[in-house]
Homo-oligomer: A and B are copies of this chain.
Amino acid sequence: MIKVGGSLVSDKCTDDHLDATAVRDYASLVADLVRTFPGRAVFVAGGGALGHGSVRDLDAADEFASLGLTNATFAVKWAWTTAFREAGIRAMPMQVAAICSERGDGIAADITVVRRLLAEGVLPVLSGDCVLTAAGGLRIFGSDHVPGMLIEDSLAPVRIVTLTDVPGILTGSSEDDPVLPWVDADDPAPAHKLVWEAAEWDTSGAMGGKLDALVAHAQRGAECVVTGGDRYAAGLRHMFAPIAEWPQAVPYTLIARATPPRDNSRVGGRG
């Protein structure tokens, strides 16, 4: 699963910005990946400005207040779908709110159509959405949580790669500081501390929430990677290689249960 963070293609300070050229650049990279590994990729679009814009200043008394998110993120999915089609691959947007809802013990999802799209080599295009809660209202179901609905035996093994505007979880106060190479999904406290310390200057906005979501996915068996997005990258095909074989020039934070295969990072062991 590849998630492109909204911050890479839009300015979250606005309510409706989406950079069509950036979308096209990333879509072209993902299209190459889908052509190379047909039926093995699922795309998750970050909500970006449109998503955030639709859920600002919600009326707390209205349990359906977040409904606008399903419309806003459909527009985001459609922009990506159009770009994927222009890049020459078949892609299809899927409204997560129609296939997911909350139960007492978590999210229940029916992924029949997603699974069939994959079998046909079509790229499913998902996004964050609002979902029906166990209590009958709606709540925000952010795009970092969406990959969780696809962690199941029929699709295993699952890798979730989140492209964002920082090169991973930073160990210091600037982007020049090294990236934390590994978060043990069974002991994420040290990484949490790092993110908390970073909160003051962190420009990625929601690394804490992202970390929580990815730790939960990793505990269910997924291998999660946070890395920087580069719309001008030569390619993304390394994403389907064992993580030990990823280019040394690509910093990342791996969030997983297994011991990380690459331990030559400058800050190895701090997690």
Interface residue ranges, A against B (CB under 8 Å): 64, 67, 70-71, 74, 78, 81, 85, 90, 92-95, 97-101, 108, 110, 112-113, 116-117, 119-122, 132, 136, 138
The answer to whether A64 touches B90 (Cβ under 8 A) is yes
In the complex, what residues of B have CB within 8 A of residue A94's CB? 95, 97-98
A179 to B113, CA, bound (A): 41
In the complex, what residues of B have CB within 8 A of residue A95's CB? 74, 93-95, 98
Nearest-CB residue, chain B, relative to A136: B120
Q: Apart from A92-B138, A116-B132, list 10 A-B contacts with CB within 8 A.
A: A64-B90, A67-B81, A67-B85, A71-B78, A98-B99, A99-B99, A101-B112, A101-B113, A119-B136, A122-B136
Cβ contact of A113, chosen from B71, B78, B98, B112, cutoff 8 A: B98
Task: Tell me how many chains of this kind the complex includes.
Answer: 2
In the complex, what residues of B have CB within 8 A of residue A81's CB? 67, 71
In the complex, what residues of B have CB within 8 A of residue A136's CB? 119-122
The distance from the CB of A138 to the nearest CB of chain B, in whole angstroms, is 8
Cβ contact of A98, chosen from B67, B78, B98, B108, cutoff 8 A: B98
In the complex, what residues of B have CB within 8 A of residue A117's CB? 132
A122 to B85, CA, bound (A): 35
A161 to B132, CA, bound (A): 27
A138 to B120, CA, bound (A): 11
The distance from the CB of A15 to the nearest CB of chain B, in whole angstroms, is 17
A217 to B100, CA, bound (A): 27
In the complex, what residues of B have CB within 8 A of residue A112's CB? 101, 108, 110
Nearest-CB residue, chain B, relative to A133: B120
A111 to B113, CA, bound (A): 13
A117 to B132, CA, bound (A): 8
Most chain B beta-carbon neighbours within 10 Å: one of A64, A90, A113 = A113
In the complex, what residues of B have CB within 8 A of residue A90's CB? 64
Given A110-B112, A120-B132, the answer on whether A70 and B97 have CB atoms closer than 8 Å is: no
Nearest-CB residue, chain B, relative to A71: B78
A100 to B112, CA, bound (A): 9
A89 to B71, CA, bound (A): 18
In the complex, what residues of B have CB within 8 A of residue A99's CB? 98-99, 110, 113
A112 to B95, CA, bound (A): 14
The distance from the CB of A35 to the nearest CB of chain B, in whole angstroms, is 15
Which 6 A-B pairs give the minimum distances between C-beta atoms? A95-B95, A120-B136, A110-B110, A98-B98, A94-B98, A95-B98
A113 to B136, CA, bound (A): 11
The distance from the CB of A105 to the nearest CB of chain B, in whole angstroms, is 15
